[in-house]
Chain A
């Protein structure tokens, strides 16, 4: 056509032109399309710019299009004077049209309300979801030339076999030593860096508190190409900070603060550079402020890190093994070349099948763990929007049907067709505009709610209602109102007055009924999909909440204290502080027992070790297990059952005797079919522990997680001290009521103690299920809307078909048909549509269930009970939706009806 490829927007634009008076678009179509293309070329590349342009064009069309009809009626066939007078009258008539349209809609408040709400919900939810997806998945990373930035991960295929490391087997950390060697010898990158997260205690700002601290090498800003708002980043000397390396006396350590920390905690003071911040009791000099919204996520581990840090400090020399590697490729170097060089540098003497490196575009790496859930959610929203549009179309088609009579009479009384079409167009536009208002309000209110209560996903705190997205949603609403409302208006007016007054049975109405039946069938199918997904998630959630954690969470309080940084001398004093505090807590009224622990299930887990039987042969099993340092009565206070052997005595615990308790699953893995008692457990090269008891398994992270093996570890494990600074308190009743008293008791012992968390075990468990609850709630809301919309659609279609067949029914009744027969007939018609939809929906749900299988806990994606239940529920809903119109049909007075025809 016209010798060049027509892009979609041009086709849409051409279609829109058809709404203008024929003389105008016949004369100027090509010119207008050309002009459209030239204007579009001016806005530049990028789909978002195009979309923005498209929206302005739509607004232009909506604003001026109807007025061209006014101009058209004033075309010069009459005297000029009359023409001009009419032109003013014409402009007046636009106002009149709007007033008339609003009056017409007010006469049908139910229709108007449902259409507006439907559009509003569809637009609002689509806008919210799209804003999230846009922020999280679509925006380019805020770095200079982001395509050159890559993540460097170490791959350990062996980790696939270890339960707790399975998720991150191909996203392994770099060690500091590897980084040093890489930085020194590499040639593929213009800069390389590492970073990780840590925490520091901040003092000197009221109550002591914990800061999220990023640690990074001096080259980080070169890698990201980010400039600071104020001051500077660390230098290499500051990273090494060692007088022997730099030959300079060790200056005060330095810190770079985030923009948010500077604004909120430091009051945005201009003279912030050079000020001192006390972290872990050491003064640090502030040398820089990061730009607003700076985030750097750690990607090389299983969980989702949102990348917010309060402050940044230099990575320590010899800083261990757990670093996230990142680099900026030189312009001509590919990721594959960089990978090859990296492996040659760091893996020269290692079997390449045991370990290798991945060099992955950062943009890709950032999104990989978020894509599926967000896309599913977006798909859900898309379905909802489709259902909403479908509903609007059936509603409008139905309206045209019922108003044929009115339109025909107006036509017969001399209303010009263009005037009628204009009326209908105005009504559609009013509906679309009001729907957009509702949608806008929905999005404006919903987005902050989502941000407030939503899950911790990256950028969540930055998301706001995106005006471009909202504009697109509004354009979509108006377009769907126009697209579905106007064509039927044209058909109605083209057919003219005579036909409508003559007969009822018209080709148009049949076509329209069939069309709306199809649309409603599709709606029912989509609803089935959403409902089944929602019920699957809901059942999975309740299955999960029914899981026993392995201990007794009721009336258990948790006071987690963050130990300050300690040196050897201070350690004893701190341990005795913990002991005294424990005694003090147990004396509080209503407290029955207190235990201390280095970790708390559902709050803070301890590090894990790969353990083997102490007398290991070649093929001995090895398993990753969590290590706990707990007081002797911890098991009893928590209510964990003792399955074999005995507890440790307080003396054994305090002396660090090489004895241990193991969890049931650990015993089963290491010593299948044998008693573990008296066996030894190896957890480092040199350290072995003798098993004296076996305890029940408990959940450590979340009820839905697999039970992890665990063992008791003495207080000193060879690498460092694990401090039992968490208090687990068994109360006689109502743990929540005791929390304030418990906190006061801790502060009585040490006013500077940093209480990180004071809560009940039950709320910790509930918090751990938060993402699942959120997901379940969200889909339940979706499903409710969808069901509601589909029921309305079905009701509309049935009611309309009943209205059309009013006289048939009247004749049949007059001939002796019983009301129940008529009801059955109508129900059959409605059910046929619904059943077709449900059947299609069930098939689609198998696929949808497969997509969400990862979120399901103990429920099969094809769970037959769910499918049957949802199908049954929907059939009942359909019967209800068809029954109301059917009963009305059966209750008509045949004489009345036939007379009015």
Chain B
């Protein structure tokens, strides 16, 4: 994937929270959809249950944008093939750009006193 300058990167942002979470779940390696959702729901217990159409809409979009891709993996317990997803370099860069965006956002919020300054990440 060609290098993108910040301007071009900005076109992906802001990421939908679920899309961001999917990217985070894939940071450590490939995973199938159900595994991704389990991780996301473990990190975000306050979210309402993630349902199939929403999930696959997001996955499909991430695939279409070239941020993640399908890979072959272990079949399921009953022998049927199963789709796994892998994060692409562009996906990693978009995820960190989104994280950076969120950090700046938080810093702004702190400076205006909307939230108290408690162990702000990175400082």
A residues in contact (CB < 8 Å) with B: 2-3, 20, 24, 27-28, 30-32, 34-36, 38-39, 56-57, 60-61, 63-65, 67-68, 71, 74-76, 80-81, 84
Q: Which residues on the A side are within 8 Å of B37 (C-beta)?
A: 35
A60/B53 in contact, CB under 8 A:
yes
Report which residue of A20, A60, A61 has the largest number of chain B beta carbons within 10 angstroms of its beta carbon.
A60
B34/A61 in contact, CB under 8 A:
no
In B20-57, which residues have CB < 8 Å from any A CB?
A: 33-34, 37, 49, 51-57
Give Cα A2 to B79, complex, Å.
11
Give Cα A39 to B33, complex, Å.
12
Report the minimum CB–CB distance from B30 to chain A (whole Å). 14
* Contact with B33, one of A27, A31, A81 (Cβ below 8 angstroms): A31
Give Cα A32 to B49, complex, Å.
15
Give Cα A57 to B52, complex, Å.
8
* Contact with B53, one of A27, A68, A84 (Cβ below 8 angstroms): A68
B52/A32 in contact, CB under 8 A:
yes
B78/A39 in contact, CB under 8 A:
no
A71/B53 in contact, CB under 8 A:
no
Residue of A nearest to B37 (CB): A35
Give Cα A38 to B55, complex, Å.
13
Report the minimum CB–CB distance from B88 to chain A (whole Å). 13
A-B contact count (CB 8 A): 69
Give Cα A60 to B59, complex, Å.
15
A81/B11 in contact, CB under 8 A:
yes
Q: Which residues on the A side are within 8 Å of B123 (C-beta)?
A: none
Confirm or deny: B83 has a beta carbon within 8 angstroms of a beta carbon on chain A. yes
Give Cα A494 to B77, complex, Å.
40
The 5 closest A-B pairs by CB, nearest first: A60-B51, A64-B53, A64-B54, A84-B11, A32-B52
Known: A65-B53, A80-B11. A30 touches B80 (CB 8 A): yes
Confirm or deny: B103 has a beta carbon within 8 angstroms of a beta carbon on chain A. no
Give Cα A80 to B67, complex, Å.
13
Give Cα A326 to B11, complex, Å.
72
B78/A3 in contact, CB under 8 A:
yes
Give Cα A844 to B78, complex, Å.
49
Known: A76-B65, A80-B11, A81-B11. A64 touches B57 (CB 8 A): yes
A32/B64 in contact, CB under 8 A:
no
Known: A39-B49, A60-B51, A65-B53. A31 touches B83 (CB 8 A): yes
Q: What are 22 A-B contacts defined by CB distance under 8 Å?
A: A3-B80, A24-B56, A24-B57, A24-B60, A27-B60, A30-B80, A31-B56, A31-B83, A34-B34, A34-B76, A35-B33, A35-B37, A39-B49, A57-B52, A60-B52, A60-B54, A64-B53, A64-B57, A71-B60, A80-B8, A81-B8, A81-B11
Give Cα A63 to B52, complex, Å.
12
Q: Which residues on the B side are within 8 Å of A71 (C-beta)?
A: 57, 60-61, 64
Report the minimum CB–CB distance from B34 to chain A (whole Å). 5
Give Cα A68 to B60, complex, Å.
9
B64/A39 in contact, CB under 8 A:
no
* Contact with A56, one of B49, B57, B82 (Cβ below 8 angstroms): B49
Give Cα A61 to B53, complex, Å.
6
A76/B66 in contact, CB under 8 A:
yes
* Contact with B34, one of A38, A68, A75 (Cβ below 8 angstroms): A38
Report the minimum CB–CB distance from A23 to chain B (whole Å). 8
Give Cα A391 to B83, complex, Å.
43
Residue of B nearest to A13 (CB): B52
Q: Which residues on the B side are within 8 Å of A80 (C-beta)?
A: 8, 11
Report the minimum CB–CB distance from B60 to chain A (whole Å). 5
Q: Which residues on the B side are within 8 Å of A36 (C-beta)?
A: 52
B60/A28 in contact, CB under 8 A:
yes
B55/A35 in contact, CB under 8 A:
yes
Report the minimum CB–CB distance from B83 to chain A (whole Å). 5
Report the minimum CB–CB distance from A55 to chain B (whole Å). 11
B57/A39 in contact, CB under 8 A:
no
Report the minimum CB–CB distance from B73 to chain A (whole Å). 12
Report which residue of B12, B53, B60, B82 has the largest number of chain A beta carbons within 10 angstroms of its beta carbon.
B53
